[in-house]
Structure 1
Amino acid sequence: MKKNNEPIDARIRLAIAQWPDDAPRGSVTAFCAEHGISRKSFYAIRSRARNEGQTAALEPRSRRPKTSPKKITDDLQEQALGVRTALESSGLDHGPISVYDKMASMGISPPSVASLARIFRQHNVARAEPKKRPRAAYRRFVYPAPNACWQLDATEYVLTGGRKCVIFQLEDDHSRKAVASHVAEGETAEAAITVFTKGVAACGVPQRLLTDNGSALNTSRRGWEAKLTAYVITLGVEAITGKPGKPTTQGKNERFHQTLFRYLDKQPLATTCAQLQDQVDEFDRIYNTERGHQGLPGRMTPQQAWEATPVAEPPRPASEPVEPVAPDPHVPDQAPGPAAATPSSDLDLSTLWEKAVSSSSASSQSIPAPEKITGSIHTLAATGHQHIRVYANGVVSFAGTLFSLSRVVANRIIIADWDPERIIFATTIGEVIAEFAWPPPGTKYQGITKARYRFQNKS
């Protein structure tokens, strides 16, 4: 038998067409077995040779069906191409799925998504991406309810004249709803807080806020607390970040930027931040209410997904407001000179303090003096507090004196609180690090052994 539906050779067809009528019994079966064809094919070719002539029997007939009720007409193809062109000129998604949904919403019976993809390839309007992973290969993660987690990120955009601005986009992880957007002149903590407050006013307080590790968003992995982080903590929001160099953690927001840019590229170039804000607000409206989202069940709109599930309960606010803390840009990240060795992870805190004690016995000339904060013991107010940064070697400079604390708090922002008799160094959450009596005038260095109280590992 012929395999894989292969056509029968012309020489075999000619032998069948010339088959004699008085051939002996069993010769047909032997001929078919020898050439690997069926008896049905043998008699079909012989019948064509009798009725249409031997020439007609030498070539196989077309297997194309006589009628194709589901054939995509040329008019339907033109309609699909027109819808795709309209979506593309509007700055909206114009792939096969988007075209299918748009045609269905217009009352047009669309071809299948696969057929639309084939039509676009045939007309050379689709970009071939053979290396792109199929949708089934992605593992999608989503929070169970709206307001369970928001994603916040910022992206640059260029106005007329080459002037740059920043667009903050706040998106709900569950419903993909554009919670709020804000156009600012730069990526600052104040702008980040502004877009978050706009989102809270529109949709309530979320349980979590996911950002990257930008200086205007969340710097907890850098060892100090950003203004946005301190602000959301006062509302009870858990501030979380992705690992550095892993933007896929914020993948929903990164993809959100791409959709926004596709829309803005088809709009008139804005000259001011206010004009760009109007365009972004219109995009958010279309994105939330008109554009079906391919990442949602049934390709519903983000607003429909928001309304389909009860909103997560707001978190409990912090009992005491936390003052936002930002690092002093004039204070270096570490003292000049060779960096101190990082303590081994298997040492407990008491061992670290013993090392700090032994290092503090060295002379003051052996410790390189970092840049000092303006002020001295004679010019400070009688009482007060100030945010300062600890150097990488666990030393802090305050009022003209170097105070040795601990490498446990290296590179962090702490609070210095003083009165006429003593000075206390504490973390931003109120945990006392060390308490010193005011040193004699002219003292350049105070070791940790001079402290009245110092942090110890209590475990």
Structure 2
Amino acid sequence: MIHRNAPLTPTGRLRLARCVVDDGWPLRRAAERFQVSHTTATRWAQRYRRHGAAGMSDRSSRPRRSPHRTPALVEERVLRIRREHQIGPLRLAARADVAASTAHRILQRHHMPRLASCDRATGEPVRRYERSRPGELVHIDVKKLGRIPDGGGHKALGREAGRKNKSGTGYAFLHTALDDHSRLAYTENLPDEKAPTCAGFLARATAWFAAQGVTVERVLTDNAWSYSKNTWRQTCRDLGISPRWTRPWRPQTNGKVERFHRTLLDEWAYQQPYTSEAERQAAFPNWLDWYNYHRPHTGISGHTPASRVTNLSGQHT
């Protein structure tokens, strides 16, 4: 890679060096011709004499020896603690008796990934994937959300008053189907997460995606009781969909819809202090429309989910 402030490319360096070495130009004349300093012209001419055209590339600025580098035993201890306890440079520094900056350099030197990029259970780097076309895989999950009592909960009234006003409100069950490729989402607020309810949601979600020009081929769910019953399997067969399940205790496999639910909570459910559940639910259609059609999605390079579905009506409104 060429240094960003380099006045010459390797080709320009070679031309300068050949003018001096092969054609006998004076160094000052060559320097003036190529708009560089006299010392720069001297350096590239000498490199050409010693190494030929191969010497025109940039060299590493790394020193041949680093007498003050952290000893190998200390580096091994830092790496071992990192693998065993999955902690960052600041806590590593306290355990390994080194500076936090030293622990950070050791991790970088050995290409250790950031903790945010690792699986918490195994410590291995998270392997991200994305299906190549809409409908190839749809993630389905349910988010259980406490209902807001009439008059408002603790966000609107404060902790003490909100605690007195929350009895008997129950829960809302947000069923979501999210396309793996486009991140296009379909969500319904349903009274429970029983097998017939989940199967009915799948049928309606499949019809909704079909109206957007997306044919659902596979669905991925966790191993909840409702998704393992014959009701779910039979509905999948009737719709021509292949069901898939995550491995036990591995919610990361269904991480795209899990992340959608976190976005949903941050940007809609808890975005403002609603005074009732009806008020919050009334705001949901507008939020979902904004998510699908207008909100830049960081997981797909800032594009909107709708922009990844060919000829989806309304994507430019």
Structure 1 length normalisation: TM-score? 0.34
Larger-gyration structure (1/2): 1
- Higher RCO (CA-CA < 8 Å; seq separation 6+): 2
Structure 2 length normalisation: TM-score? 0.49
Larger strand percent: 1
Larger helix percent: 2
